[in-house]
Amino acid sequence: MYLQGKNLLLNKLSSLDCKNTDKIEELIDKRYSFLLRESSERFLVPLFESRDFKAEFCDFSGDTVVIGRPEEVNNENRERLYNSLKSLMPWRKGPFSVFGIEIDAEWRSFRKWNRFKPHLPDLKGKVICDIGCNNGYYMFKTAYHKPDFVLGIDPTVQYYSQFSLLNSMAGITNLNFQLLGVEHIHLFEGIFDVVFLMGILYHHPNPIDILKKVKSSLKKDGYIVVESQGIEGDLPIALFPEKRYAKVPGTYFVPTPSCLVNFLKRAGFKDVKLICYHKMSSEEQRSTDWMVYQSYKDFVNEENTLTVEGYPAPIRIYAIAKK
Ligand SMILES: C[S@@+](CC[C@H](N)C(=O)[O-])C[C@H]1O[C@@H](n2cnc3c(N)ncnc32)[C@H](O)[C@@H]1O
């Protein structure tokens, strides 16, 4: 499956005259070793055990990504699939409905999508990348708009497995997941019409470098769609936590809305548009039966004004800009 995906991507890149196809192939081959680690086995077994499920019906138009109707499988097979899906927990992004099995993920990801939706460029026929695509929730949402090709990159084997199981049932051939990271995005020089960079920027110590790399992966006049954790405030400043922010160790610059706009401008983007920002809440991110660990309410005080470390509680910021 992984190698089949690799060949599809390499063919697409050759057709787009990608300069670095060989380097990308080499990287993908190296990342294949992630799947061979002993720790990956538990994520690959469910994929193998449920490879026979094929959905006749899919619907990506609504808040829930629907793959297969309940009547397409009998109860015994549904239970088998349920066990496979459960063994791939935790599910962070969603919701999904899979042959009638409702995956209530930690994040109500449609909220993010719906905030961007009226502002997105036309996605039809476009070559798109979703950086840090997790289980592919937004790749399926994008597929509804009939893109030419959607590459999702995320180095996490668990999410690769969740996506691969979902798409082995959905059978959407122009969705492609690779175990690559944002640090590789510049290799796709001039390839994408649209790049989604959501929930990524504050996890990197050099956000401007990341934005410049994303810019180089865009075609002329291509779009970056950015969503970031942030803090409230009118000044263009970023919080830089000593160790953790909202319990997350890998958090670096947490910008105000105008700071994120300046990040984009200083990285060389034009037509920078701040779409909106909102206070983060447990309505959006919470523990469920499919993600049983701590979630947003455990990361902030009761009033949702401060993180557990005493920093200002997070907001989420949305912006779109052009190369
Ligand atoms: C906060 S989540 C955001 C997921 C999704 N983009 C969203 O907005 O809902 C961060 C994601 O980045 C992935 N990730 C971790 N390291 C990465 C890297 N070096 N490059 C790209 N993605 C990475 C994680 O596996 C995770 O799926």
**Phi, psi angles (nearest 5°) of residue 222:** -70, 165
What local confidence, expressed as pLDDT, does residue 70 receive? 97
Taking the complete model, does pTM exceed 0.85, yes or no? yes
What local confidence, expressed as pLDDT, does residue 66 receive? 98
- Over residues 100-128, the pLDDT tens digits come to 999 999 999 999 999 999 999 999 999 99
How many domains, in total, are found in the chain? 1
What local confidence, expressed as pLDDT, does residue 4 receive? 82
Q: Which atom, in ligand 1's list, is nearest to the CA of 156?
A: 25
CA of 181 from ligand 1 middle (Å) equals 8
Give the structural domain span for 145: 2-322
Task: Tell whether the model's pLDDT for residue 133 goes beyond 80.
Answer: yes
CA of 54 from ligand 1 middle (Å) equals 28
Helix axes 157-170, 41-49, angle to 10 degrees: 10
Task: Tell whether the model's pLDDT for residue 145 goes beyond 80.
Answer: yes
Confidence of residue 55 (pLDDT cuts 50, 70, 90): very high
Q: How many CB atoms within 10 Å of residue 303?
A: 7
Q: Which atom, in ligand 1's list, is nearest to the CA of 198?
A: 8
Task: Tell whether the model's pLDDT for residue 1 goes beyond 90.
Answer: no
Percent of the chain scored above 90 by pLDDT?
Answer: 99
Residue nearest to atom 19 of ligand 1 (CA): 181
CA 128 remoteness from chain centre? 12
Confidence of residue 277 (pLDDT cuts 50, 70, 90): very high
CA of 197 from ligand 1 middle (Å) equals 9
Ligand 1 interacting residues, C-beta cut-off 6 A: 93, 109, 131-132, 134, 153-156, 159, 181-183, 198-200, 227
What local confidence, expressed as pLDDT, does residue 81 receive? 97
What local confidence, expressed as pLDDT, does residue 245 receive? 98
Percent of the chain scored above 70 by pLDDT?
Answer: 100
Q: Supply the CATH number for residue 46's domain.
A: 3.40.50.150
DSSP code of 185? Answer: G
Task: Tell whether the model's pLDDT for residue 283 goes beyond 90.
Answer: yes
Two tokens, residue 282: 């447990």
